[in-house]
Amino acid sequence: MTPTDDVHAQALKLARTYLGQEDLDGGWFELGGSSLDAARLVSSLEHDHGWEIALQDLLTAPSVAGLLTAPAAAGAPEAPAAADAPFPAPVAAAAGGASAGGADVLWPALARLSASERLALAHRLLGDVLRESGEPR
């Protein structure tokens, strides 16, 4: 789907909400964003507006505003090579560096999943953790 101007506006509004600032001229992590909020934004855009953006594209874009307003990125399918790219440096830093326990191996696999698949996986993993810890759900 090629997003309308309204969808672009909603995407920018959501990004500003998740980042807690108006200026979106910088990378997601550079602007103080978390990977969880990035996943929420991608999921919301897909679920509420039918606009699929690859999480990896959001996390590695040099400009959040540029990605969310660029017509070329609007409906472009995710390039297969991007999923095979090494773990992005900002994500590695956020995850605790290169020795983050396999995160550099997991990231490409997670980036290939749709937002709804990632959300379902996160819910399942959280349920498993809570069950094993004995905490009430």
CA distances from 35 to 5, 17, 43, 98 (A): 26, 14, 12, 16
How many Å apart are CA 30 and CA 86, to the nearest integer?
A: 19
Q: Per-residue pLDDT tens for 7-44?
A: 888 899 999 999 999 999 999 999 999 988 999 999 98
The model's pTM: 0.53
Residue 108 pLDDT greater than 50, yes or no: yes
11: tokens are 């995407």
Q: What is the pLDDT of residues 45-102, one digit of tens each?
A: 888 888 888 888 899 999 999 999 876 444 443 333 344 444 344 444 444 444 444 5
> Are the C-beta atoms of residues 18 and 37 closer than 8 Å to each other?
yes
Q: Which residues contact 34 (CB under 8 A, 6 or more apart)?
A: 94
Of 41-45, 116-120, 132-136, give the lowest mean pLDDT range. 132-136
Q: Does the structure show a pLDDT above 50 at 2?
A: yes
